[in-house]
Structure 1
Amino acid sequence: MTEHSIEALPCAQSEVARQRLRIAMIIGSTRSGRFGPTVADWLAGRVQRRRDLDLDTIDLAGAGLPDELADHDDPTPAPVREIGQRLAAADAFIVITPEYNGSFPAALKNAIDWFDAEWAAKPVTVVSYGHDSDGSRATAQLRQIFAELNAVPIRRTVAVARAWQRFGADGSWPRRDPELEAAVCAALDQITWWATALRAARARGDFVA
Structure 2
Amino acid sequence: MIRHWLVHNWFHHILVTVGILAVFGAYKVTLQRMGSQAGEVLKLLVVMSTTREGRMGSRVVKFIQNELGAKYDITILDPKELDLPLVRMPIHHYDDRTQAPQVLLDIEAKLKAAEAFLFVTAEYNGSVPPALSSLLDHFPPGHTLFGYKPSGIVSYSMGSFGGMMGTVPLRQLLNAMGTVAVPESVHVPQVHSSLDEDGKVQGNDHLKSGLESLDTQLGWYAHSMKEYRKIHGVPKL
Task: Answer yes or no: same fold by TM over 0.5.
Answer: yes
- Higher RCO (C-alpha 8 Å, min separation 6): 1
Q: Confirm or deny: 8 A CA contact 2:87 2:137 kept in the other structure.
A: no
CA distance in 1, matches of 2:212, 2:167: 18
Residue 70 of structure 1: which of 55, 64, 89 is its match? 89
CA shift in 2, pair 1:102/1:49, >3 Å: same
The CA deviation at 1:105 is 0.9
CA shift in 2, pair 1:186/1:170, >3 Å: closer
Look up the SS of the partner of 1:157 in the other structure. Answer: strand
2:84 is equivalent to residue 56 of structure 1 = no
Where structure 2 has 5 or more consecutive residues not aligned to the other structure, the ranges are 1-30
2:222 is equivalent to residue 195 of structure 1 = yes
CA distance in 1, matches of 2:219, 2:185: 13
CA shift in 2, pair 1:201/1:69, >3 Å: farther
> Which amino acid letter does the alignment assign opposite residue 113 of structure 1?
D
- Aligned-residue sequence identity (percent) comes to 27
Q: Confirm or deny: 8 A CA contact 2:66 2:199 kept in the other structure.
A: no
Output the aligned Cα RMSD. 1.9
Total equivalences in the alignment = 196
What's the TM-score, normalizing by structure 1?
A: 0.86
Identify the residue that residue 205 of structure 1 maps to in structure 2.
233
The CA deviation at 1:69 is 3.2
CA distance in 2, matches of 1:17, 1:143: 27
Q: Confirm or deny: 8 A CA contact 1:25 1:56 kept in the other structure.
A: yes
Look up the SS of the partner of 2:36 in the other structure. Answer: coil
Residue 140 of structure 1: which of 150, 154, 168 is its match? 168
CA distance in 2, matches of 1:19, 1:171: 26
CA shift in 2, pair 1:171/1:181, >3 Å: closer
CA distance in 2, matches of 1:92, 1:169: 26
CA distance in 2, matches of 1:206, 1:172: 39
Instruction: Summarize the alignment of residues 25-36 of structure 1 with structure 2, pairs less than 5 Å apart.
Output: 25-36=46-57
Residue 63 of structure 2: which of 37, 42, 45 is its match? 42
Residue 202 of structure 2: which of 174, 182, 190 is its match? 174
Q: Confirm or deny: 8 A CA contact 1:48 1:54 kept in the other structure.
A: yes
The CA deviation at 1:66 is 3.1
> Which amino acid letter does the alignment assign opposite residue 128 of structure 2?
F
Where structure 1 has 5 or more consecutive residues not aligned to the other structure, the ranges are 1-10
The CA deviation at 1:12 is 4.3
Structure with the larger helix share: 2
Mark the structure with the bigger radius of gyration: 2
Residue 105 of structure 1: which of 129, 133, 139 is its match? 129
Instruction: Summarize the alignment of residues 13-32 of structure 1 with structure 2, pairs less than 5 Å apart.
Output: 14-32=35-53
Identify the residue that residue 8 of structure 1 maps to in structure 2.
none
What's the TM-score, normalizing by structure 2?
A: 0.77
The CA deviation at 1:16 is 4.0
